[in-house]
């Protein structure tokens, strides 16, 4: 079996910076300057540029942003996996799984925003592992990271399918002596009307003999969110949010309908949107 060569701690390491944010590249570039043992051989602003640069420059070390458009950091590793993979310090601002996986498989990771001290620690660790580890060992760890990520995302997709199966995708509404089957994803918004609920679909209204609480339990909470005690909205129909008094908001739908988001239900909407209002 052919042995991969060892890289000496004293020899220069060739580094590549990959990040779609100019400021992030500038920071890493500046913090590499005091290290004459590191030669910066290039920068890339997206995943496909990174793949080309890695193949062309053959760097020993890559500072690789995870979240990039078109081809993310994992995609870069996947594209290069058939060849010799460099040592990679992942840079990430998101994804709890990614952080857990990096702790198990990656040489190191930097969680944005990171300090210069943390950068120095990651750089030193990367250089030590480059000096001590076979290149093949680095390949093996990164391939394990890709496999682990694929398994988790596959499980997530199955969980989503199982979760979606629990919820109604059609609602039967008795109307004018017939039963109308409405697709749940066609509903724009819902309001309570005494012992009934009123389903608003493309500017038409349909009464359903069911309580609001009972209906909400049948609908996928990833798509339908309660914004008021008597109002539920389909998130796909929301166009804008406008601040109002006392922490309340007005919700503007794509069809021009305006609804009120009360403070009581604001946290639920924030959770689905993934950001603070």
Render pLDDT for 227-261 as a digit per residue (tens, 0 to 9).
Answer: 888 999 998 998 888 887 776 788 899 999 999 88
- CA–CA separation, 66 vs 58, rounded Å? 20
Give me the pLDDT at residue 131, please. Answer: 76
**The pair of three-digit structure tokens given for residue 248, joined into one six-digit string:** 């309340």
Average pLDDT in the chain: 79
CB atoms within 10 A of CB 24: 20
pLDDT band at 28; cut points 50, 70, 90:
very high
Which residues, in sequence order, are CB contacts of 2 under 8 Å at separation 6+? none
CA distances 120 to 30, 128, 137, 271, Å, are 12, 12, 23, 35
Q: Which domains does the chain have, with CATH numbers?
A: 13-162 (3.40.50.2300), 170-273 (2.40.50.1020)
Give me the pLDDT at residue 2, please. Answer: 37
The highest-confidence range among 75-79, 107-111, 159-163, by mean pLDDT, is 75-79
pLDDT band at 97; cut points 50, 70, 90:
very low
176-194 in b/e burial notation, b at 16+ Cβ within 10 A? eeeeeebebeebbbbbbee
Give me the pLDDT at residue 14, please. Answer: 94
Q: Of 63-77, 97-111, 220-234, 260-274, where does mean pLDDT reach its minimum? A: 97-111
| 17 or 7, greater pLDDT | 17
pLDDT band at 104; cut points 50, 70, 90:
very low
């Amino acid at each position: 079996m052919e042995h991969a060569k060892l890289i000496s701690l004293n020899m220069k390491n060739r580094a590549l910076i990959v990040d779609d944010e100019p400021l992030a590249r500038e920071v890493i570039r500046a913090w590499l300057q005091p290290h004459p043992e590191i030669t910066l051989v290039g920068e890339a602003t997206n995943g496909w540029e990174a793949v080309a640069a890695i193949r062309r420059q053959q760097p020993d070390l890559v500072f690789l942003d995870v979240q990039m458009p078109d081809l993310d950091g994992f995609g870069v590793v996947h594209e290069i996996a058939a060849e010799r993979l460099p040592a990679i310090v992942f840079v990430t601002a998101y994804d709890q799984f990614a952080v857990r996986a990096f702790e198990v498989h990656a040489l190191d990771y930097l969680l944005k925003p990171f300090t210069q001290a943390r950068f120095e620690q990651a750089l030193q660790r990367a250089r030590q592992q480059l000096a001590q580890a076979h290149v093949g060992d680095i390949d093996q760890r990164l391939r394990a990271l890709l496999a682990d990520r694929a398994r988790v995302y596959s499980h997530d997709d199955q969980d989503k399918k199982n979760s979606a199966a629990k919820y109604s995708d059609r609602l039967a509404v008795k109307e004018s002596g017939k039963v109308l089957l409405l697709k749940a994803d066609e509903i724009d918004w819902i309001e309570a009307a005494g012992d009934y609920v009123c389903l608003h679909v493309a500017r038409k209204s349909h009464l359903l003999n069911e309580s609001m609480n009972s209906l909400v339990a049948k609908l996928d909470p990833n798509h339908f969110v309660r914004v008021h005690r008597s109002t539920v909205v389909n998130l796909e129909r929301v166009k804008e949010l406008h601040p109002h008094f006392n922490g309340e908001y007005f919700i503007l739908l794509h069809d021009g309908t305006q609804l009120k988001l009360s403070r009581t239900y604001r946290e639920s909407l924030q959770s689905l949107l993934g950001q603070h209002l």
